[in-house]
Structure 1
Amino acid sequence: MEKCKSVLCPRIQARLEKEKEKDANCDVMPLSDTHFNVRYFLDQLTVDLNARVCSCRKWNMLGVPCCRAIACIFFVNKEVEAFVDDCHKLNTFFKAYAGSILPCEGDRYCPRVPCNLDPPPIKIGLGKPRKNRIKHPKENPKKPGCLLRSGIEMTCNICRTKGHNKRSCPNKGSYVPIEPALKRPRGRPRNDVAASQPIHDS
């Protein structure tokens, strides 16, 4: 930073130069010595040099004049760097880092303080403490820890229809269950089974 020759910090100066390049697109219409109406493409904004305020609020938040404010500053033949906030200047930077931070010793060399640290006191609330847990609204009162089967649609094991179970099935006595198909044996056939099959000569 000591090698920097500008009034502002290098990054702020680079930001200001980018805003100066957009200055040519601004059309300034003076309302007074400090108030201006600026047209920037399709936007129309107002700038107050005394209050350092622009309608885009970029100057207010960053402390660096926007391209509309720079056009007004050039219109009154003044330097743009003078309208930058003091926190971005080199003098403020040197003042902030003028002091030095003393080195710190490690934990090994810190002085020992004879102080017994106790845990914070336990705060007991008013009233009788709760013993029973908060139950779920759909928990079965007869079987604690189990939920009710309300809302679950039952399926009959006999006729495989929904809406009832096998106790109340209307086809309980007359229904003949369908036998499942035989499963195909897995693996290679045994030698005795292969020998019993006839061999066709080609």
Structure 2
Amino acid sequence: MWARHIIDSRCKSDHITNNVTESFNHWVGDDRKKPIMVMVESLTCRIMGRLQRRFEKGSRFEFATTPRIRKIVDMTMQDAKLCKVIDAGDDEFQVRDGFTTFAVNLRTRSCGCNYWSLCGLSCTHACACISYKRYNVERFCDFYYSNEIYCKIYQEMIHPMPELNERDRDGYPIVDPPKLKSLPGRPRTARRRAANEGRAGYAARRKKVLHCEVWYLQIVWT
């Protein structure tokens, strides 16, 4: 949470991650072991089908927002029932959430918790005000989460490509791959793990404290 105070509010996302490359490597799978042209062809086909499936999925959405955003908003509306709303007029409210008070402005789409301006989705306090005024909660979701934007993202397509030997020559010389030099030992397939990481596939074991019945000593068992 401490790093989110410097996130630009134009991003409309509070997601922080540093393992994007790990997710991509897992998605690529065994394709990275193939020759470069075969790997590019395989990834092109996978991305081609992925774009088409996502576009067809977005065309079947029934609401103005995507189903995932709709689910998040519905859960937030349930949590908003615990808040106490005081109407100050002109779509401005004072919301009591437990022992903390927040100022909410529906016109400027802002709340004292800053979640709304950061993520683009109405927070618990804003949802309490929206429910109090009986407004449509989808009106207050950022445009980036709309079904229209979802379809625009995946509407572009990757056109089919002919076989390699049937493609037109561009006149440029063919670049051959560099000569491979076999290194001693078996090639590494797993990534290098940090010093503070455990072995792959093994969860961290919890420490147990045992008491000796004779000497009443505490022995840490790992």
The two structures have a TM-score, normalised by structure 1, of: 0.51
| 1:5 and 2:62 are equivalent in the alignment | yes
| 1:53 and 2:105 are equivalent in the alignment | no
Q: What is the correspondence of 1:38-77 to structure 2 with a 5 Å cutoff?
A: 38-77=95-134
Give how far 1:21 is off: 0.6
Measured in 2, the distance between the counterparts of 1:95 and 1:77 equals: 30
Q: What is the correspondence of 1:74-89 to structure 2 with a 5 Å cutoff?
A: 74-89=131-146
Deviations 1:121-173 (A, max 9, x none): xxxxxxxxxxxxxxxxxxxxxxxxxxxxxxxxxxxxxxxxxxxxxxxxxxxxx
Letter of the structure 2 residue corresponding to residue 42 of structure 1:
F
Give how far 1:28 is off: 1.0
Specify which of 74, 85, 88 is matched with residue 17 of structure 1: 74
Judging by fraction of residues, say which structure has more helix.
2
Measured in 1, the distance between the counterparts of 2:90 and 2:166 equals: 65
Measured in 1, the distance between the counterparts of 2:101 and 2:89 equals: 17
Letter of the structure 1 residue corresponding to residue 73 of structure 2:
L
Measured in 1, the distance between the counterparts of 2:76 and 2:83 equals: 11
Give how far 1:81 is off: 0.7
Compare relative contact order (CA 8 Å, sep 6+) and give the higher one, 1 or 2: 2
Report the CA distance shift for 1:77/1:111 in structure 2 as closer, same or farther (over 3 A).
Answer: same
Measured in 2, the distance between the counterparts of 1:30 and 1:59 equals: 19
Q: Give the corresponding residue for 1:193.
A: none
Measured in 1, the distance between the counterparts of 2:163 and 2:118 equals: 41
Classify the secondary structure of the residue corresponding to 1:45: strand
Give how far 1:89 is off: 1.1
Q: Please, which runs of 5 or more residues in structure 2 have no aligned partner?
A: 1-56, 174-222
Count of matched residue pairs: 118
Measured in 2, the distance between the counterparts of 1:55 and 1:15 equals: 20
**Amino-acid identity (%):** 26
Give how far 1:23 is off: 1.3
Q: What is the correspondence of 1:151-170 to structure 2 with a 5 Å cutoff?
A: none
Q: Give the corresponding residue for 2:156.
A: 99
Measured in 2, the distance between the counterparts of 1:31 and 1:17 equals: 25
Give how far 1:107 is off: 6.7
Measured in 1, the distance between the counterparts of 2:167 and 2:115 equals: 48
Measured in 2, the distance between the counterparts of 1:114 and 1:98 equals: 33
Classify the secondary structure of the residue corresponding to 1:78: coil
The alignment's C-alpha RMSD in Å is 2.5
